[in-house]
Every structure is written in structure tokens, then in C-alpha cells.
Structure 1
């Protein structure tokens, strides 16, 4: 009898497959899935000033991880870091025109991947899955 896999293991496997396929699709744009998540946050953020701390909190990532992501996005010309007028220790992060230029393609790739993830599921099943995943994410989120 085969041992039952844990839910956590299944979620990890899904994430690994998703990230691998997303990275493959984004390669032509010169970014990774992780960098795409940062750009997506910046492009969709309603705040006028976004700091590294904001990105860390929104994406549930640690400081060294975000530092590396921002460094590479800056080197590639997708973001601009400007010292904050309010706090000189902080930098505000802004997407560049280059980031806006690839926004539609990033969104299209994400939508195609979502369709792949839910292939064979009805709209009702997909909605139920989204609700359940929201609950799982809430359960594991840091306070």
C-alpha cells in the first residue's frame, strides 16, 4: 500500500511545477517568476511610495531575498530606486517604462498557467478550490 502524501507536500510539488513552467515562459522577457511577482506588486500597487519593507510584507519574503530580487531588477532596468524624502534610510521603488512594457505579457502568461492548473475543473470546482486555498493561506500566514 502506497503511503498517502501530505497536503503540504502536494502544495510544494504544485508550486515547484508552477514556478518551473512560469520561469520557462518568462525567460524570453529576461525575468524570473520571483522577479515577476515583485514587478506585479509594484505595477498594481495603489501606494504612491513603495519601499523594500512594503514588498517584503506584501509578498511574505525576507529582507535578503527582496534585496537580491531588487538588485537584479535594477540591473536589468525594470525598476528605479530613489531615496525617500520622508526617511533617507529608505528607498522608494518604482517600476520603469521597461516594466510597463512587459506587463501584458506577464499577465497573459499567468492566466495561461492558471488555465493549465485548473484544466479539467468546472467553474464551480475552480471557485471552490480558490476558496479553500484562501483558507489554507490564511491558516499558515504569519500574524
Structure 2
């Protein structure tokens, strides 16, 4: 008898333990989970002005939630709010150097982690694994939907 769920659970636990030793992830984990998503969003949109309303739309979250999160990120030195010339009431949100450095370190850690994870596994084996994992996710989503259980959180459906 195969115990797929048990093996997936064991893999998840080992991955979480390995990730826990990353200095950048430890620093990021001290922030809230939403901070990581916002860091990535702001990093990927550095070339344009990003305002609070853009974040509200992108993440389908309320103005008050975004306000609280941005205030904490500002307090932690991850963002600055800057006035824009065309409308002094608008404040664009800009990553600090500390946030850019943290984001780059997390990305480097992820690449190293995935490289280590895939060590000794051929490209073909990795493709098979990804297809199987996606099929398992589909199976679980279908079962949850049949039970009337939503897998959406905060407007974000997996």
C-alpha cells in the first residue's frame, strides 16, 4: 500500500526545516506573510509608480488592511511613501535598499534551495513530478468543490 499523503507531508516538513536555516527567510518570516507578497509585487513593478489603490486591486484586499500593512512595512524600513508632482495627495510606494537587498537574497536562496532539491533528478523526472503534483492538486480541488469548501483566501484562488 502506498502512502502518498504521508510522503508529501514528510517532504513538506523537510523543505520547511531546510528553508528555516536561510538567513533571508528568517528575516522575512519575522515580517507578516503579506509583506513577502508586497515585496515581490513592488520589486517587479519598480519601473512604474505604484500607489496604495494598485495594491488594493492587485491583492483584492481592503484599504484599511493595506494601510496597516504599509505602515508596518514603513516602520520596518522596507518602504517609503513619496509624493508625486501631479497630485500631492497621492503617495507612491517605493522599496528601500533594505527591501531590495532582502528580496534579492530571498530569490538567491530560493534558487539554491531548488537546485539542491533537484540534485540528481533528471529534467524528465522533474517534469513527471510536476505533472503528478498538478494532478494531485486538481484531485483535491475537485473533492473540496464537491464538498462545497472554498480554497480561496483573501480573494486569491489557488
Per the TM superposition, whether the score is higher than 0.5 is yes
Distance 1:100 1:111 in 2: 17
Please, what TM-score do these two structures have when normalized by structure 1?
A: 0.56
Flag structure 2 segments of 5+ consecutive residues without an equivalent.
142-150
Tell whether 2:81 aligns with 1:81. yes
Mean Cα displacement is larger for which, 123-132 or 97-106? 123-132
Which structure has the bigger radius of gyration?
A: 2
Mean Cα displacement is larger for which, 126-135 or 41-50? 126-135
Aligned to 1:94: 94
Specify which structure has the higher proportion of strand: 2
Flag structure 1 segments of 5+ consecutive residues without an equivalent.
none
Tell whether 2:31 aligns with 1:25. no
Q: RMSD of the TM alignment (CA)?
A: 4.6
1:95 CA displacement? 0.6
Secondary structure (helix, strand or coil) at the match of 2:22 reads: helix
Task: Give the 3 Å change call, closer, same or farther, for CA 62–116 of structure 1 in structure 2.
Answer: farther
Aligned to 1:104: 104
Counting only pairs closer than 5 Å after superposition, residues 56-67 of structure 1 correspond to structure 2 as 56=56, 58=58, 60=59, 62-63=61-62, 66-67=66-67
Counting only pairs closer than 5 Å after superposition, residues 1-143 of structure 1 correspond to structure 2 as 5=5, 14=12, 21-22=18-19, 24-26=21-23, 30-32=27-29, 34=33, 35-45=35-45, 47-56=47-56, 58=58, 60=59, 62-63=61-62, 66-83=66-83, 85=86, 88=89, 91-127=91-127, 142=157
